[in-house]
Structure 1
């Protein structure tokens, strides 16, 4: 756990100061909690990498958006120690580096001034009920157990102030008002998409055979790609364009460019060989029709060595 310089919460003055001045910063708040449930497995490590490495936004450069996975997200100025840890999230219209100069240790809403625009949770048995909230449905027995779990205090490794923190879905919907919330179950290859509409999430229908969630305001789609990433075959979440073409990682882009360059060189070599063969065939025809070697050499700009090969 990284904890730097526990900054006290300052009392307000008249005129009041902004939360950015009075509340803890990312330097003061814990960056992780080993006791938190749902610690990532290897999939939870690889999948966010693929999401970040294939993200291409037409309206934002890489220097003006921020992506993160399993990073503490502090969201409530009234309870500055409360946080959630999304499996992956995107914030647009913020500098890639904190204040344009440093890697983030956490994401603190009152310091940044921008909420995430997309949040993605990778479902696991221990976190599914909280990730889905009211959209979680199972058998009656499981529902009862989930309700008991949901009503239990949610620990974030810190002493709580007054009341228990809200659920993850509630934070994304009511506190942060994140426009796009998606969840993915890799075991069932099920992608679910919730869009903020009128202050509440409404689940969007997806094509069951080709589930792609289209985010029109960002001009990008998210679907399930069957392939190999970092030498691991599986069904992965991956960004795509409006035609359904999967967007490439940086490595794939480099490999594609190298393949295109090799192909261009091969085509150039083949074209030269074909042109040379045509010239030599023309020389054969002229020699067969009685033209002397000197004339053929001069006419076709051939060397004596090339004529000798005929």
Structure 2
């Protein structure tokens, strides 16, 4: 492609998400139940307090196009987040894919859920065939330069976090399977609890107090419990007042 003077917008000369495939039915490793539920929990609890909700885009199992020289090359992260972009493409459409040369903003964090078929590629332990596209590790580390890369082993329930340092990923030593990300004012950790009626360790976000960020369902349950407690306290207060009045010889009108 020849450069023009003045330069033309990527939207004019490069494919957009409307032009690129949004799915590949031949791709192996279609999501199982864990790969459907775990990203959903990450979605529900990812609420960085220093970013407005309309400037956060999160996605799971969505085509991520990363190289304008090879516009069909893509990866499908199990979960990723981009900061500073609208949830909708050009403020109007749900995304069919995420095309970095059109968006102009790269993912801030990527999470991969390890499985036997993808573990070596996820951890950068495979040798690249120069005739094939680069692996996930190379794309995230060297092409997109994603600041944080997390992998979660669904069988060992082990979290590993890598931070970009000097152009390479350096693994972070974790304390209690938790990692605080100051740029987000959020932390990522392993929580043992019940989600969608399944009791097991899950990956989720926590806040600066160390408390897990609540899902909308948990918030509703918490509000209902608080309302129940307030009603019970009001009932007890009323009963005490009635008892005091009766001790003074006054029969209260309880109607």
TM-score computed with the length of structure 1 as normaliser: 0.78
Measured after TM superposition, the shift of residue 35 of structure 1 is: 1.7
Q: Distance in 2 between matches of 1:12 and 1:37?
A: 38
- Aligned pair in 2 of structure 1 residues 164, 18: CA closer, same or farther (>3 Å)? farther
Q: Is 1:122 the equivalent of 2:116? A: no
Measured after TM superposition, the shift of residue 14 of structure 1 is: 3.2
Q: Is 1:211 the equivalent of 2:177? A: yes
**Alignment match of 1:193 (pick from 158, 161, 164):** 161
Q: Is 1:61 the equivalent of 2:52? A: yes
Hey, what does 2:216 align to over in structure 1? 250
Measured after TM superposition, the shift of residue 61 of structure 1 is: 2.0
More helix as a share of residues: 1
Deviations for 1:112-168, whole angstroms, at most 9, x for unmatched residues? 1100101000001111111110xx4xxxxxxxxxx5xx4447xxxxxxxxx421111
Q: Distance in 2 between matches of 1:246 and 1:53?
A: 11
Larger radius of gyration, structure 1 or 2? 1
- Aligned pair in 2 of structure 1 residues 228, 109: CA closer, same or farther (>3 Å)? same
Check whether the contact 2:128–2:135 (CA below 8 A) recurs between aligned residues: no
Q: Distance in 2 between matches of 1:37 and 1:194?
A: 26
Check whether the contact 2:128–2:134 (CA below 8 A) recurs between aligned residues: no
Check whether the contact 1:89–1:118 (CA below 8 A) recurs between aligned residues: yes
Check whether the contact 1:219–1:241 (CA below 8 A) recurs between aligned residues: yes
Deviations for 1:264-307, whole angstroms, at most 9, x for unmatched residues? 11111111111111111121xxxxxxxxxxxx67xxxx45x99x
Hey, what does 1:159 align to over in structure 2? none
Residue ranges of structure 2 left out of the alignment (5+ in a row): none
Q: CA RMSD in A?
A: 1.8
Check whether the contact 1:37–1:127 (CA below 8 A) recurs between aligned residues: no
**Alignment match of 1:282 (pick from 224, 227, 248):** 248
Q: Distance in 2 between matches of 1:110 and 1:194?
A: 25
Q: Secondary structure at the match of 1:38?
A: coil
Check whether the contact 1:19–1:77 (CA below 8 A) recurs between aligned residues: no
Moved over 3 A (4+): 10-14, 150-153
TM-score computed with the length of structure 2 as normaliser: 0.94
Q: Secondary structure at the match of 2:23?
A: coil
Check whether the contact 1:89–1:119 (CA below 8 A) recurs between aligned residues: yes
